[in-house]
Structure 1
Amino acid sequence: MTEGNFVDYVKIYVSSGKGGKGSSHLHREKFIEKGGPDGGDGGRGGHVILVGRKNLWTLFHLKFMRHVKAGHGGDGGSSRSTGADGEDQFIEVPLGTVVKDKETDEVLFEITEDGEERILALGGKGGLGNWHFRSSTNQTPRYAQPGLAGEEKDVILELKVLADVGLVGFPNAGKSTLLSVLTSAKPKIADYPFTTLKPNLGIVAYRDFQSFVIADIPGIIEGAAEGKGLGHYFLRHIERNSTLLFLIPVDSPNIKEEYDILIRELEEYNPELLNKQRLVAISKCDMIDEELQSELKAELDQQFKNTPYVFFSSVSQYNLQLLKDRLWKMLNE
């Protein structure tokens, strides 16, 4: 999936159909001049319905869909015949889609299961025919109910990526490079910050034909929780990952300090993120020799007492299998 095709935010105007009118028809037949009321009910208006699809990964197919309108209900007829229901409109979305009201920013609901259907805009109810209004004192009512109007909404669809492992780190930490060597994904890779502007997903092939999904999320900067840099546009994707892989380059001035900044940004955005499993991966280890790595390990053993870490290199593929083994074990504990 190319970066340009990954769409995780769209705005759509939806309107459901209005209900059909009830009929005020009076029964007429040969030799029956003054039959009673036999007007049927109007059909309901069509709903606008969201459907979860596990085979969708992005909202790209909705990028140019600005309006979605359901059909109107048919009017009631004679002989108590009910009008046809309006045609429902179905919008397919990937799992992890959050629906918000554009005006109030209120979260309406989330789609998390394959085949899950949620009504976004309810069709108007059809009006009752005059058959329902007959009584002993009013045997020939000549009135019926009009159908109710449908709903109109401006909504925002936001995708929170569903992945097993989320890559967390500063810009240029080597996240995209790691994704490219672990999976078949082809993320954009360059030596300047914020090369990745939207999440990239890849499937990591593991032993015995097993696999797990990993997401390369745009780099965090200090102050991201307040919206700096790409701010909330990427932090929401981290919420759906069961395990977080913190990537810190070995040439960082202070590995522990960089890790603490990342943790602080996640905590300020959503404290629940700290409940997820974490693994620290020290990248670009092809730049140092074994002696320097041993010295660094002794230092990190003191700093990361309760957090597991691993040295690796995407370029030389040093410890890549160890990294996959660690992640697989964490995902299946």
Structure 2
Amino acid sequence: MARKVLVMGEVRDGSLRNVSFEAVAAAKTIAEGGEVVGLLVGDSVASFANELIHYGADRVVTVENDKLKSYTSDGYAQAFLAVHAEENPEGIVFGHTALGKDLSPKLAAKLEAGLVSDVTALEVEGGNVIFTRPIYSGKAFEKKIVTDGILFATVRPNNIATLEKDESRSGDVSSITVDVKDLRTIIQDVVRKTAEGVDLSEAKVIIAGGRGVKSEEGFKPLKELADVLGGAVGASRGACDAEYCDYSLQIGQTGKVVTPDLYIACGISGAIQHLAGMSNSKIIVAINKDPEASIFKVADYGIVGDLFEVLPLLTEEFKKLKVHS
């Protein structure tokens, strides 16, 4: 059955997050030939509307207001619900990001809709949309079907393939004025405490270090390899607790959950808490001096050796490949 699906696009640091395009692709599946409507909320977001259309949205609605410059759940909820009231969609898709994880449960409760969070795959069978999501720290997957009401889902970054960008696509871009009021939180200023470079949650390549990195200086060869591969640097909780790096780099059960195309674990033992955050990576490479380290059990490729000897060699070889490619 054809459905209208509303997709929340996310603008950050002057660009649309890639997960926005993944959400559009998921919405296309849910819509089954119906209309996919993009939604952009902020103080100046209309300029990003056509990009959403190029990636598959049929049209885009924007809500612009000075009070929406920085995210607050109250402000964004008011904007979303105003658009929802006009569009009355059968489906809603968010990215499973900090914004999505905070806002989607609140909206689902307001709309009395069931929410399927952290979706990694979806398909349509017999008119039903089947959502797949990880459970038990990624040790198993469950399939869910929403049998009644709005189909509301959040999609995990780097799991849903985006549609091919088509700059010839065009669609209507409209705006809705929302009187944003009664905000319980006023954002005075935003100071980002994140590592420079590629966003860890959306990185295609991650070079992660554990206690085996031994020091803050020990992360230098990881950063060098990440730069060559166009990736990001991550860390285990052990490395963060030891103050080798900032907690913004932490991957695991109490950190970020990532699913890159390539994950290189350097000096990481493979505690279950860390595996919960990266075990669904497409290819895992482990580098560790201990041949009995648990990380090798989940790795696709393993190197038993000193990371400080192995990483410089890998970096040089990848540099050569880039020169000749």
What range is the shorter-chain TM-score in? Answer: 0.3 to 0.5
**What TM-score comes out, normalization by structure 2 length?**
0.33
**What TM-score comes out, normalization by structure 1 length?**
0.33
Q: Which has the higher contact order (CA 8 A, sep 6+)?
A: 1
